[in-house]
Structure 1
């Protein structure tokens, strides 16, 4: 968690200084309306759920991500984003490892990119809707839920994004972003409601993008 917090603060600092530090014109991308980004992200839950009356700690994990954007104007874009692979999460309680689960989020959001299309560095913010599918819910054979069937509903809710693009070619750019996913899916054990998997993860990502 400390690693993610440090990287998040560094990225937010970069976003804050970018408009003044890189206000000069650089690479002109005004004719480019589509962009795709392939990258890697770390998902770290910000809250600990209570399952069957027991407080649980859910570990974070990393996965590959993909996004596709259409720029309506030089400043406004619509982005489809998602994990290309699953984030694997280990669930721990005071009794030790209790279960494991995989999550695969995807989202649609609107974004505002600051400055002009010819700036070398462009910060952006976004707001949208996400869903995260949970699968591979497995109780640890020696844990307190051994032999029981665990199910986690699909997480749904709002997603906020802050990031920055660094243009180094008319068709290529680097990206760093932080996403906050807010949702509270229900958890069932043997078909009985047993709490909420309110993880509200922060997803910290970096990637390489192509614009055309």
Structure 2
């Protein structure tokens, strides 16, 4: 099992626990909407394009709403059982490459929408995947930042992911950095830089 597979199973176990109408960090989505989104990604190529292409999002929304209306156990089992056989991520190595960040972030979207959440204990494989994904994704998700950005971990890892006349350091454990670059405010990070530069970074859009 890799990080993607582990996070998929952990998320489905949490789905079982909280039910279809629990909140998530994805604006406007309950858990049934998040689960339906994951199914669309892996089973409906005709609708998956609309996740990234605005002009096709109407069809995506209709297909996703159809899945969200299914009985909850059936919908969760669709997520748990993984992609359709013809989908590239049915190959474990591709699944790990493509889905580690997806399922890690969405697992935390459900965990951290609940009161009293705390970060999970460090895990070497999960942290390595999160650090790699944060560095790669941030070049796109932080493209609107008006300042330069350096990601740093308490253990000393560092990556400058955006250039600029002013630099802001974002410091946190790898999972926290991953959540930050994907636009989640429920990420435990600290900032290094002038108050103005930090505020400009925090006000900028973060996401795909």
Task: Tell me whether the two structures share a fold, i.e. TM-score over 0.5.
Answer: no
The TM-score, its normalising length taken from structure 1, stands at: 0.28
Larger radius of gyration: 1
The TM-score, its normalising length taken from structure 2, stands at: 0.28
